[in-house]
A and B are shown apart, each in its own frame.
Chain A
């Protein structure tokens, strides 16, 4: 009985740990995609935004910082900042009607909105999976053996408090 229980618990912990890893990989994929999209967007709008050098500069820098970041917490911080700066850039778009008429820019904007959403859903899914995994690790009787087999609690992908209320990218068009 005890051995059967041990096997079942061990296997389910392995499965959950793998789910956490997969969910993290998904976030990573989306973050990379965003990093790839940004230079295209910056190039496409540069011509229109001659007087907005500052915000474009901020976007480029935030992107660079996010790509350099390592570890869950640092990464979350840097990516959160990038999201915020991008939101500011989209807000600036509102002042340039020509920009909103440019098909290429509209397409890029939809792509970035998509990637922003994909990132936040990947993060949400990751955090849900982590919550289930950690709860399982902490509850009796799993907690008796989890440590012995080397299962450690996973870290949440948390956005810093100040950025949580950051305005969403335009969703209404």
Chain B
């Protein structure tokens, strides 16, 4: 069974990558916290770090447990209609993939958009949904639909709603630390300027400017790192979900062909509020020139790996199966 090694191995490799990235995330937060607590504030106890982590945890607690149906509805989706042949087929495929994954069948939702796309959401498999756009149901044949739904089913099995909620919490903690540093530097700058004035030394303006620049630099850096790390985690989960889809369907070419169709679609979503959920979709709902570029630089800022690369990997998996 040499065919299996590929998708099992691919999933293991990306699961390790996620763990590594989250560890790295904690290290970065630790480094920022250390800088602020012991260097900028000269505290004896890491208060800022703890506050930031508490704030991040609070975000996680507030958003955890939100059911998939709620997310789907907030995006404007409706439950699939079994009377409609295309939507009935979708409901059936969701059930088939659930059986392949050995999970309870998630609810099938439809989003009335022409762009072919799909997403999954839900804290627990029992409360998860898989949502497809009407455009997806109309463009894909059964095999391609199975590939896409398999990908979403893998997100559910892999607990990606939890992973991405955790990552969002970490991002908020890191950005909060950056913001704290920025305000400390601004106040420190004014403080230094005021002292200078008292001593009649002058040069207060320069102190304010230097402090402001350092603070601003830390702020930008924290936001940049928060985004880069979150995107890197998201990409590792996408590769994992692609391999998971192949595990369920044993048909890499179905998903590859679906991704081809999605890639060749021109035009985005009508709805504007999908940005916050971009990481949920099978391909970015609003692909920009930047995110679909092939360079390592543009890749850094994408929730998804380049679609070409995903198709190439799927073709390789198909080769290994033949």
Contact = CB atoms under 8 A, between A and B. Distances in A.
Chain A's interface size range is 20 to 34
Contact of A114 (B95, B141, B143): B95
A97 B92 CA distance: 25
Nearest to A30: B99
Contacts of B89: 110, 114
Contacts of A99: none
A38 interface: no
A23 B95 contact: no
A173 B99 contact: no
B95 A124 contact: no
B101 interface: yes
Nearest to B88: A110
A121 B99 contact: yes
Interface string B82-121: 0001001100110111011110000000000000000000
A23 B101 CA distance: 10
B99 A114 contact: no
B142 A129 contact: no
A122 B105 CA distance: 13
A117 interface: yes
B248 interface: yes
A106 interface: yes
A173 B129 CA distance: 25
A110 B141 contact: no
B1 to A, nearest CB: 9
- Tell me the dominant secondary structure on chain A's binding face: helix
A118 B95 contact: yes
A121 B93 CA distance: 11
B102 A113 contact: no
A65 interface: no
Contacts of A22: 102
A26 B248 CA distance: 15
Contact of B142 (A26, A107, A113): A113
A129 B102 contact: yes
Pick from B99, B146, B248 the residue with the most CB of A within 10 Å: B99
B250 interface: yes
Contact of B92 (A19, A110, A125): A110
A122 B142 contact: no
B250 to A, nearest CB: 7
Given A23-B102, A106-B85, A121 B142 contact: no
A124 B250 contact: yes
Interface in B49-94: 85, 88-89, 92-93
Given A110-B85, A172-B141, A125 B96 contact: no
A124 B142 contact: no
A23 B99 CA distance: 9
Contacts of A19: 102
Contacts of B99: 26, 30, 118, 121-122, 125
B88 to A, nearest CB: 7
A172 B141 CA distance: 5
Interface in A79-109: 106-107
A114 B102 contact: no
Interface in B170-185: none
A117 B101 contact: no
A125 B95 CA distance: 13
A148 interface: no
14 contacts: A19-B102, A30-B99, A107-B85, A107-B88, A113-B92, A114-B95, A114-B96, A118-B95, A121-B100, A124-B100, A125-B99, A125-B100, A125-B102, A129-B102
Given A107-B88, A121-B96, 20 more contacts: A26-B102, A107-B85, A110-B88, A110-B89, A110-B92, A113-B92, A114-B96, A118-B95, A118-B96, A121-B99, A121-B100, A121-B248, A122-B99, A124-B250, A125-B100, A125-B101, A129-B102, A172-B141, A172-B143, A173-B141
When A and B form their complex, which 6 residue pairs have the shortest distance between CB atoms, in order from nearest? A121-B100, A114-B92, A171-B142, A121-B99, A117-B96, A125-B102
